Amino acid sequence: MAFQNTLAYAQEQDRLDPLRSYREHFHIPQHNGQDTVYLCGNSLGLQPKAARAALEQEMTRWAELGVEGHFKGDTPWFTYHAALAAPTAKLVGAKPEEVVIMNQLTVNLHLMLVSFYRPAGQRYKILMEGGAFPSDQYALETQVKFHGYDPEDAIIEISPREGENTWRTEDILQTIQDHGDQLALVLLGGVHYYTGQLFDMAAITKAAHAVGAVCGFDLAHAAGNVPMQLHAWDVDFAVWCTYKYLNSGPGGTSGVFVHERHAQNPDLPRFAGWWGHDQIQRFQMKKGFIPMAGAEGWQLSNGQILPMAVHKAALQVFDEAGIDNLRAKSEKLTGYLEFLINSLGQPKEMLEIITPTNPSERGCQLSLLVNQNGRQLFDTLMANGFILDWREPNVIRVAPTPLYNTFEDVYRLGQFLAAHFQK
């Protein structure tokens, strides 16, 4: 695409954008009476305007019906999670029975590890990416300790090659093969939080299965960001949050995928709770856990209705816009940002994009490595109405999100950076 570093070009691209109206579905934070340039959807997505009405509806139902809200109304609380299954499945490339919305991400990760990290004999090791998000590191560390292993021995961390910032797929696949007879589990982030790299989940899953290991993904930075085909890729399980690209509110609820070959297996070990018990027999209050079929069988407690109401409103926007349409715009927005950054002509010693240049290996986010006065630059941007994200020691994460960001947003950031580096 022949990008141009002009305001007229950016405004023309916005005029031609078939998704331009979706920005109006969101509240844009203000700075000095003007819309901020909000490029932080990878950390917290903006509030859908429909969220307040969705919450009010459930608050009204609670006020008017009390406990009867569990069984009355267009979306009874007793089965509220089921109303989220179809749009969720479409978003991650799954069957509706393979997904469930419940709990929060790290809780769900632990629940999945109970079922899918089953060390035995020499097959007890876990492969993960070096520098994974701390929640994943802590979850795996404590899980292997729970099973009586030393994390330094049981967890294999693969890092980029010396002098490189991102992982080569061939290195990941080779590492899986090299440790194949010892691997119980391969667990990676779908999109790495720091670099913005999108991993080849299909190839990684195939390689893990070839050596007899289970394969799962933390999709915190992938869900709502990139199209996926979890069922077709034969992924064993995945977890994700909904407050980033899925715009479902701070501390929002989480999603789980369990492939149908596992989800239909009632004998698979798991931690059980009342809400995962066979729905028909649930109120008989008897001993003996009988899991619901599908991913619903991993539920513990009744649904978090208020967070789910916000998520339901957000999913409706995604369902209408279409993840493939959003991906097409995302590639253009991120490509334009990359063009503008490269146009600054800064040496790598000063400014470097560490996210892969290949659009198929990244999502919305570009991570800018700022080697001199990075924190000062970030603070200056924030003080001037650019909402971004800082990650130690020296990375500014920038995420042009297709539902509400514009080409003009990206252009304005480029202009500000140009003025900064010309000083």
* Residue-level pLDDT, tens digit, the chain, 423 residues: 799 999 999 999 999 999 999 999 999 999 999 999 999 999 999 999 999 999 999 999 999 999 999 999 889 999 999 999 999 999 999 999 999 999 999 999 999 999 999 999 999 999 999 999 999 999 999 999 999 999 999 999 999 999 999 999 999 999 999 999 999 999 999 999 999 999 999 999 999 999 999 999 999 999 999 999 999 999 999 999 999 999 999 999 999 999 999 999 999 999 999 999 999 998 898 999 999 999 999 999 999 999 999 999 999 999 999 999 999 999 999 999 999 999 999 999 999 999 999 999 999 999 999 998 999 999 999 999 999 999 999 999 999 999 999 999 999 999 999 999 987
Strand partners, 277: 291
The terminus-to-terminus CA distance of the chain in angstroms comes to: 30
- Give the residue among 60, 366, 51 at the shortest CA–CA distance from 198: 366
216 is written with which tokens?
């799962």
- Rounded distance between C-alpha atoms, residue 380 and residue 360, angstroms: 32
Which pLDDT value is given to residue 283? 87
- Give the residue among 158, 169, 162, 154 at the shortest CA–CA distance from 128: 158
φ/ψ of residue 279, rounded to 5: -60, -35
CATH topology of domain 81-319: Aspartate Aminotransferase; domain 2 (3.40.640)
284 is written with which tokens?
């008989």
Give CATH superfamily name and number for 7-47+322-421.
Aspartate Aminotransferase, domain 1 (3.90.1150.10)
**Amino acid occupying residue 317:** V
Domain ranges of the chain: 7-47+322-421, 81-319
- Give the residue among 120, 112, 99, 100 at the shortest CA–CA distance from 140: 112
Which pLDDT value is given to residue 423? 73
Handedness of CA 96, 102, 104, 110 (dihedral sign): negative
73 is written with which tokens?
């109304």
Cβ neighbour number for residue 383 with a 10 Å cutoff: 9
Whether the Cβ atoms of residue 81 and residue 303 lie closer than 8 Å to each other:
yes
- Rounded distance between C-alpha atoms, residue 228 and residue 307, angstroms: 24
CA dist 5 → 106, 324, 338, 399 (Å): 42, 27, 11, 19
Whether the Cβ atoms of residue 18 and residue 324 lie closer than 8 Å to each other:
no
pTM of the predicted model, to two decimals?
Answer: 0.96
How buried is 329 (Cβ within 10 angstroms: 0-12 exposed, 13-18 middle, 19+ buried)? buried
- Give the residue among 57, 55, 50, 2 at the shortest CA–CA distance from 25: 50
Which pLDDT value is given to residue 192? 98
